[in-house]
């Protein structure tokens, strides 16, 4: 019987933090969540994803988080910051090969 030491599987090259392996999509297959590039201040734009146990990336996507004091709307500066951060994140997804459909492998 062959076993895999999941601790030996490197994180995706663009990952800044990874979680523990867990059964996210199926009870018999492990995956882990990872955080990629995070941009912005009052409005945060990040790239996150899931990694397969063979080391490949299952999926990447862009997240947007707005701090509570902006929850009623964005001023012009925050809107421009958000637009710049979204364009940069979309460009990064394209570079990672994940721009179409949110998937891509590392």
pTM of the model: 0.79
At residue 6, does pLDDT exceed 50? Answer: yes
The residue written with tokens 């867990």 in the block is 22
Contacts of 86 (CB under 8 A, 6+ apart): 45, 62, 64
Q: Where are the domains of the chain?
A: 6-95
pLDDT (tens digit, 9 = 90+) per residue, 10-59?
999 999 999 999 998 888 889 999 999 999 877 899 999 999 999 999 99
Q: Which of 55, 58, 59 is nearest to 6 (CA)?
A: 55
Q: Give the CA dihedral 64, 13, 84, 77, nearest 10 degrees.
A: 60
Exposed/middle/buried for 40, CB within 10 Å: 0-12, 13-18, 19+? buried
């Amino acid at each position: 019987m062959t076993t895999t030491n999941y601790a030996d599987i490197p994180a995706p090259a663009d990952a800044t933090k990874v979680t523990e392996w867990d059964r996210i999509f199926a009870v018999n297959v492990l995956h882990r969540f990872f955080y990629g590039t995070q941009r912005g201040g009052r409005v945060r734009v990040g790239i996150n994803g899931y990694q397969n146990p063979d080391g490949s990336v299952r999926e990447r996507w862009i997240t947007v988080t707005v701090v509570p004091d902006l929850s009623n709307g964005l001023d012009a500066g925050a809107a421009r910051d958000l637009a710049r951060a979204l364009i940069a994140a979309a460009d990064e997804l394209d570079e990672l090969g994940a721009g179409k459909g949110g998937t891509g492998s590392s």
